A and B are shown apart, each in its own frame.
Chain A
């Protein structure tokens, strides 16, 4: 059964870069889309973007100028980098398998943007 686990710094300073990795266990990255979604505390869900095993990406236009996703099939993980962060980027970040209907999801990791 495939499982996903997000990892990365829980605290990022304003204007710096948020970097997260999602490690997949129990299955291969190959042949799937992989998605990032975030959720500010007490609020709804925002689709960030997706990446295919070939490295092809689709980003939310609202984040596109600051966002880079990458994938490393040899390490069975994929990553997200979001530059020039502000307090508005504070959220729980989830990774998930699939594109249109992500499933399963990782447990999520809280990233706080604060000095």
Chain B
């Protein structure tokens, strides 16, 4: 299985800040990477696929980059609704696996 490792596991930031979350794959997954946002008590929501393509309706404050084994999710101008847990997921081969999550908290 391809292991996905996110860093940091948690992150404190203030409203208006810009933050970056990193996801590393244990083997080359090309651009087969998605990012999800999960608010407390809610189901995950897809933000980005193919490493850098925004899902329809997702604001441009979210951006993704990377290929191969190293990927990043950047969120600019943080708003209260952005404080959530973020997961990366690869879909290069079965089984698809998720990172352990990055909890973004208000400072």
Give the most central of B42, B44, B45, B55: most A CB within 10 Å: B44
A45-B44, A107-B43, A108-B43 are contacts. A101–B98 as well, Cβ < 8 Å? no
Of B32, B96, B99, most A-chain CB atoms within 10 Å: B96
**A105 and B43 in contact, given A44-B100, A100-B49, A100-B96 (Cβ under 8 angstroms):** yes
Question: B46 near A61 (CB under 8 angstroms)?
Answer: no
B34 and A44 contact, CB distance less than 8 A: no
B46/A103 in contact, CB under 8 A: yes
> From DSSP, what is the main secondary structure of chain B's interface residues?
loop
Determine if A74 is an interface residue (Cβ-Cβ < 8 Å): no
Interface of A is mostly: loop
Closest-by-CB residue of A relative to B6 is: A44
Which residues from chain B contact A106 at a C-beta distance below 8 Å? 43
Top 7 A-B residue pairs of the complex, sorted by shortest distance between their CB atoms: A100-B91, A105-B43, A103-B46, A101-B49, A45-B98, A60-B95, A47-B96
Residues of chain A whose beta carbon lies under 8 Å from any beta carbon of chain B: 44-47, 58, 60-62, 94, 96, 99-108
Interface residues of B (CB under 8 A from A): 32, 34, 36, 42-46, 49, 55, 87, 89, 91, 94-101
Interface pairs (9), CB distance under 8 Å: A44-B87, A44-B98, A45-B98, A60-B94, A96-B43, A100-B34, A100-B91, A101-B49, A108-B43
